[in-house]
Chains A and B, each alone.
Chain A
Amino acid sequence: MNDLSHLKTTPLTEWHVANGGKMVEYAGYRMPVQYAGTLAEHECVRERVGLFDITHMGEILVTGSGAADWLESLVTNRVRKIDPGKVVYNAMCREDGGVLDDMLVYRLADEEWMVVCNAANHEKIVGWMKSKLPAEGVVMNDVSFETALIAIQGPSAGTLIRRLAQLEGCIADLDGLEFYHAFCHDGGAGRWIVSRTGYTGEHGYELYLPNGDALAVWEELLEKGADLGVQPIGLAARDTLRFEVCYCLYGHELGEDRTPLEAGIGWAVKLKKKIGFVGQEALVAQKAAGVPRRIICIEMDGRGIARQDAPVLCGGNPVGMVTSGTFSPTLKKALALALVDSGLPEEPLAIEIRGKSVECHETTFPFLSARTKGDPLAER
């Protein structure tokens, strides 16, 4: 057994260990990769409701009169004029258009914003933002280590969240909460942010909580959701769930060596924004010249599961590589996402799996349609 004791923990780590969570290192955290089994957990979210501890995500508050314009200059999507309570999916790029991270940007109040980034990129993003911070008018406050994050995802998520005692007075807010919107609530140990977002393609919520509230809320959700079949869900099922609906994952579809246009999130890049953003010139030039690579959806015809970095061949020639690949628990097929050259010739596709060329074909995006009405991640 690897020693995980030096890793960062969440307020729920002890609960995971005590309740059969198989713990692994993930982005410097000790996190549960599975409990009952990945396939059962995956099905639980697609058919019922599951709980995820995603406290490892980074939360950075940005406040001040200059916050709106400053954030607009750092991210690819339009965030400056959104209403308080709105959430927008974004990429943050380098000057050359390479993706530093993908992230959610929340407008919490007129002059208060929250950036939610990946755990693996948290230090990098905080450093990048600090290096771009203006002398006045904007204050950055990294609250990642005091903020817990619990995702409630699945068809019964709405029923379950309404049973939380803390949200008893918020039923009207929940009823009116549209996808990619959030509201703040004065909770037990401090402010809660109730967000109708997720990374599974199902209806669901993400609850940002002070660390001190996390364990009680987690246990309350499990207890009050017992009749709904609620289960804790590990990182492995989080990955298969997002994969089926083709949501990008940093380190797989996204990385610094490619642009958001190549990675298939061009819909979150607004090249005509009035306030220029870091990477804009490079992205405008790439679009004008033609985007050289793209992400495609692949279904295996031969036997085998393509994994990340497996070479993709077209007519026998290397044309790219697999970014994510697994056996889809819902569709019961071996599927893959791959970054390949644009304008491939009409020749047979194959993926090299452990030295063997295995036939496959391009299929339509996404593998599985998200069931979150108005889901911006599902638009293309």
Chain B
Amino acid sequence: MVPDDRKYTQEHEWVQVDGDIGTFGVTDHAAGELGDIVFVELPGVGDEFSQGDTVGTIESVKAVADLFLPVSGEIVEINEAAVDSPEMVNSGPLDDGWLVKVKLSDPSEIENLLDAQAYQDLLGG
């Protein structure tokens, strides 16, 4: 499941842009590989990050994965529901299980990310 309404990263994350706000989450593939997600740690609203910074972690019973923010900007909203119920990231990583919203400081960064086809190719077709 790789919808073409957003961009992707090699680290199996996605960003969907609406105006100057990017919504960030992990892909189906990432959620599936991690297994049952039991812990989500996110930054605070107002925190500022550069492209590639670690903004948090998600953990399953067995594994930990860092979240690398693929765009620069300021956090304007975090998904509190996903923090309280980490299993949402497994059940809906592309919608209800989104993680943070960022006010993009450099919208051109989006162009460097993978489109749906490129990400699908990365997954091996």
Contacts and interface: CB of A to CB of B under 8 A. Distances in A.
B35 A38 contact: yes
Interface string B54-79: 00010111101000000000000000
Interface in B46-60: 57, 59-60
A327 B63 CA distance: 11
A303 interface: yes
Contact of B64 (A34, A240, A307, A329): A307
Interface stretch (B7-15, B17-25, B36-44, B104-112): B36-44
Contacts of B61: 38-39, 236, 240, 326-327, 329
A156 B1 CA distance: 38
Contacts of A354: 57
A327 B35 contact: no
Interface in A225-280: 236, 239-240
A304 B62 contact: no
A291 to B, nearest CB: 31
B61 to A, nearest CB: 5
B14 to A, nearest CB: 22
A305 interface: yes
Contacts of A239: 62
B62 A305 contact: no
A334 B39 contact: yes
Name the interface size band of chain B. 10 to 19
B41 A304 contact: yes
Greatest chain A CB density within 10 A among B35, B57, B60, B62 is at B62
Contacts of B35: 34, 37-38, 236
Contacts of B36: 37-40
Contacts of B57: 354
Greatest chain B CB density within 10 A among A33, A239, A304, A305 is at A305
B36 to A, nearest CB: 4
Contact of B59 (A33, A38, A40, A305): A305
Contacts of B38: 39, 305, 327
The 7 A-B pairs of least Cβ separation, nearest first, read: A327-B38, A39-B36, A38-B61, A236-B62, A38-B36, A305-B59, A37-B36
Interface of A: 33-34, 37-40, 236, 239-240, 303-305, 307, 326-327, 329, 334, 354
20 contacts: A33-B62, A34-B35, A38-B35, A38-B60, A38-B62, A39-B61, A40-B36, A236-B61, A236-B62, A239-B62, A240-B61, A303-B39, A303-B41, A304-B41, A307-B64, A327-B38, A327-B61, A329-B61, A334-B39, A354-B57
Interface of B: 35-36, 38-39, 41, 57, 59-62, 64
Given A39-B36, A40-B36, 7 more contacts: A37-B36, A303-B39, A304-B41, A305-B59, A305-B64, A326-B61, A327-B38
